[in-house]
Amino acid sequence: MMDAERLTAMIRAAKGDSPADLVLKNIRMLDVITGETTRTDIAIAGDRIVGTHATYRGKNEIDCTGKWAVPGFIDTHLHIESSLVTPLEFDRCVLPKGVTTAICDPH
C-alpha cells in the first residue's frame, strides 16, 4: 500500500513540479502499436515510472542517447506444451527477448 506522501511526491514528479529521482534522458521509445519511435525522457520516482513523452528534471540523470526503451511484449495465444519445454525453460528463453506476459491455451 502506498502512503499519501509518497503518492504526492510521485504526482509532483510526473507533473514536472519537482525533480524525479531518476530521469533517462534522450531515450528512443518504441510505440509497439504504430511502430513509430520518439526521442523522449523517462521519469522515475522511487520504483515507478511516473512520466514519459516530455522533458523532465531529475536528481540523477542518465544520457541515454543511442539507447532504446521498449514496453514488454505480450504473447496473446500460446500452446506452451507444443514448445516441448517446461514453463520455467520457456520463461528463461523468452524473457531476454522482451516477452513479459504469455496467455497460455493448453490443449
Indicate whether 64 and 80 sit together in one domain. no
- CA torsion sign for 83, 87, 89, 94 is positive
Query: H-helix or E-strand containing 14?
Result: helix 4-15
Is the per-residue pLDDT at 99 higher than 80?
yes
Check residues 2 and 97 and name the one with the higher pLDDT: 97
Tell me the three cell numbers of residue 13. 514528479
The pLDDT value given to residue 11? 96
Residues 61 and 9 in one domain: yes
Q: Can you give the CATH number for the domain in which 64 is found?
A: 2.30.40.10
* pLDDT tens digits along 22-53: 999 999 999 888 989 999 999 999 999 999 99
The dihedrals phi and psi of 20, each to the nearest 5 degrees, come to -75, 165
Q: Are residues 16 and 60 in the same domain?
A: yes
What are 78-97's pLDDT values in tens digits? 888 888 989 899 999 998 88
Q: Is the pTM of this model over 0.75?
A: no
- Answer yes or no: do 87 and 65 share one domain: no
Amino acid type, 84: L
Residue 21 has pLDDT above 80, yes or no: yes
